[in-house]
Every structure is written in structure tokens, then in C-alpha cells.
Amino acid sequence: MKNIEKLNLKDKKYIIFDLDGTLIDSIGIWNDVDNILIKRYANIDINKSTIQDERDTFLNNNPNGNTYLNYSQYLIERYKIKGISKDELTEERIKIFREASLEISFKPDVANLIKRLKELGFILILATMSGTSQIQQYSSLNTNMIKEMNLLEEFNLIITKDDVINKKPHPEIYFKAMEHYNAKPHECLIFEDSYTGVISAKNANIDVINIYDKYADIDRNLIDELTTYKINSYKEFIEYINNLYNNKSKTLKI
């Protein structure tokens, strides 16, 4: 792993962002949702960190197919849930998440960073395993996010799980982004929060910056071994940009 000061941003043209855990604080919401479901249908109160560990392990080992349905079936089998099908459980799980997701916010300084990168002429791409309908909800109903920026308006290209066959850690979503612009790996830079995301970026042979997210701490050592660069906050990256371009008239306030 290199120090962020070793990155020459001027060599890059395309900046690609993951969404969940990278731009927004959403991972904890899924822990809450699954905790509610397990309590409701299995009458068991499971520690949320355990729920996340089990979910991450399952999804890492089963990245293909309909991950929502597959995970609901896992919950049914893991917690011996009766009286509800995987389709019904999935529908309820998504309903609870969508209601809770109205309270999700961007991580600090995300909107400032996006604005700065656009000013500098970078092509901005969102590459997420969230669905298209979720992006639309964030952009039309989530007032916390809308007041800072609108995802549909700020990104030049948005690719979701609905646009690919293979889920991360397969690099398909990043290959698709490069194909759209006929871009080369060395022209791109990816921001990811998780171990799975970092692997996906590395599999695409693209430099990746790991943005710290507490929900990825279980994989912290593995992430640090694989990521090209790491930052603890977007404020840190904005400071890097201001130092790199060294133009007071264009320096972004933080």
C-alpha cells in the first residue's frame, strides 16, 4: 500500500465510486433490518456485528444469482424460520430497508469532493451493487441526500447490479465502466470501502483507494494488504487535491 501523496491524480481521467459504505453510511441499516427480521420470525436477538459477519461471509461465497433471494433463503435455513417463503421474506426485507434508508446520509465531505472533481474535469462514475430502484429512491425521496447533491445529476454514468451478471468481487461492473468510455485501467481510479470491493477493483487492474468504514474493520488487515492507497476521510483527500493543484483561487473550503 502506498501513501496517498504518491498518487498522481493528473494521470487519471475517470473516477469511479462504490456507493454503500463508500459514499453513504448504509451498511449499519442492513444490520438493523436483518436484526428486525430474525427477531420477528425466529424470536432470537442476534448481535448486529454477528449478523453482519454472517451476511458478509454468505454473500462473499455466493456472489451470483439473485443475492436478495439467496440471502433470504439462507436466513430461513440458518434460523429455522417457518411460515414465510424466501420471496415473501425478501419483499419484507426490502420494504423495511427502503423505509429506513430515507434516513441515510452521505459521508462527510462527499458532496464537496464530487463538486471539486467535476470542477477539475474528471468523468465521475457510480458503480454499485445497489439496484436502480434504490438509486432512484435516494435521488427523489431521501431529503438528507438530496439537500447535499442528487446522485442522478452529479454522475456521468451510473452502473448498478441490474446492469451486470456477475457481482463483486468479479470485476464485471468495472469492465463495463471502462468499456463505456473505451478507457484503460491506468486512466481510472476507484474508491471502495470493503474487502470485496477492493478485490473487485484489483481484479480489474485499477488503482483503488480504500475509504475507511467501521463496518469493514473485520477485514481491515486484508484490505490494507490489497488496496493501493487508503484514506480515513474525504477531507483528507480534498486536502491532497488542494496541495496537488496548488491554486488558491480553486482551493475548496473544508
Grid cell for residue 183: 478507457
pLDDT score, position 65: 81
Query: Peptide bond before 108: cis, by omega within 30 degrees of 0?
Result: no
pLDDT score, position 67: 86
Pairing between strand 207-211 and 229-231? parallel
Q: Compute the distance between CA of residue 199 and CA of residue 86 in angstroms, rounded to an integer.
A: 29
Q: Compute the distance between CA of residue 52 and CA of residue 38 in angstroms, rounded to an integer.
A: 13
Question: Model pTM?
Answer: 0.89
DSSP letter string over 91-112?
HHHHHHHHHHGGG--BPTTHHH
- Provide CB contacts within 8 A for 56, sequence distance 6+: 196, 218
Q: Looking at residues 12-25, what average pLDDT do you find?
A: 97
Region of poorest pLDDT, from 1-10, 139-148, 151-160: 1-10
Count Cα neighbours of 28 within 13 Å in the Cβ-side half-sphere: 9
Region of poorest pLDDT, from 99-103, 214-218, 243-247: 243-247
Summarised one tens digit per residue, pLDDT across range 47-62 is 999 999 999 889 888 8
Query: Is residue 92 very low, low, confident or very high in pLDDT (cuts 50, 70, 90)?
Result: very high
Q: Looking at residues 67-83, what average pLDDT do you find?
A: 94
Summarised one tens digit per residue, pLDDT across range 228-242 is 999 999 999 999 999
Q: Looking at residues 188-199, what average pLDDT do you find?
A: 97
